[in-house]
Copies of this chain bind each other. A is one copy, B any other.
Amino acid sequence: MRFVAWSGMMERPAATEPASPFRTARQREEDRLAKREAVLRAAVRMFNERGVHATSLDDVAASLGISKRTIYHYLASKDQVLLECVTIGLQQLLQAAEAAREEESTTKGRLVRFLRRYAEINMDDFGRCVIRTGEESLAPESRPRFRALKREIDDALRRMLSEAIADGAIAPVDVKMAAFALAGALNWPARWHSPDGGRSAEELAASLVDILLGGLLPRV
């Protein structure tokens, strides 16, 4: 049972030991992670809305009703906050590639599933931050990690394209160019899609992927 301080009294079964008023190491760690994540979520939304340069950790702290000193318990600097935000987004993209690989049996199925999730993630908070963040916004020492993760995702996409070409599921396109065209088309909603708009991220993603797979020229 996951023990949460404020609900402990209600959830505790009658016949067991009374809950200790002291939190266990695990509870403290969970609490720390939840607070760290709340800071990152608040920060990423401000970065996306106002831009990284116009957002200070004071603003982020104020939006959570805490002080900047409290943020420093969890994250060392604004650059670390930004690097964590883009890392979360990039990890979501990598996980989407792995999930597509594990759960779809055909090369085309994997590609379509990955592309749709890729677009959806880029319309969500952390993915949006990945796209909106130019490398120059990160401290020089943070750039290699950002670049390495982006390269991993590009590699995953190129591998899926190569496999789909190899078994004839897609046409023998230039893999590097196709990966760039797909990534660009599916990154772009990070700049224009507003979650308040009419269509859901899932619908938009599916519609963009259909157009990219089918192309514009008529199929006779």
Binary interface encoding of chain A residues 52-92 relative to chain B, with 1 for a CB under 8 A from any of its CBs, else 0: 01100000000000000000000000000000000000000
Copies of chain A in the complex: 2
CB pair A170–B51 under 8 Å, yes or no, is no
In the complex, the answer to whether B211 meets A177 with C-beta atoms within 8 Å is yes
A146 CB to closest chain B CB (Å) equals 13
Is B216 a contact of A170 with CB atoms below 8 Å? yes
Given A50-B136, A134-B132, A137-B51, A218:B184 Cβ within 8 A: no
**Contact, CB under 8 Å: A170 / B214:** no
Binds B, one of A19-27, A28-36, A187-195: A187-195
Is B188 a contact of A180 with CB atoms below 8 Å? yes
Question: A51-B136, A134-B51, A212-B212 in contact; A218/B180 too (CB < 8 A)?
Answer: no
* Complex-state Cα separation, A173 to B184, whole angstroms: 19
A202 within 8 A of B: no
Which of B49, B169, B184 meets A185, CB within 8 Å? B184
A163-209: which residues lie under 8 A (CB-CB) from chain B? 164, 168-171, 173-174, 177-178, 180-189, 191-192, 204, 207-208
Bound together, the chains give a CA A170 to CA B220 distance in angstroms of 11
B213 touches A178 (CB 8 A): no
Complex CA distance for A215 and B50, rounded to whole angstroms: 36
The answer to the question of A2 belonging to the interface, with a C-beta cut-off of 8 Å to chain B, is: no
Interface centre among A132, A204, A217 (most CB of B within 10 A): A217
* A56 to B: closest C-beta gap in Å: 13
Residues in chain A within 8 A of chain B (CB atoms): 49-51, 53-54, 132, 134, 136-137, 161, 164, 168-171, 173-174, 177-178, 180-189, 191-192, 204, 207-208, 211-219
User: Can you list 11 pairs linking A and B with CB atoms under 8 Å apart?
Assistant: A50-B136, A171-B219, A173-B211, A177-B207, A178-B211, A180-B189, A183-B188, A188-B188, A213-B216, A214-B215, A214-B217
Query: What are the nearest 9 A-B pairs in CB distance?
Result: A215-B215, A184-B188, A51-B136, A53-B53, A184-B185, A185-B185, A181-B185, A170-B216, A171-B218
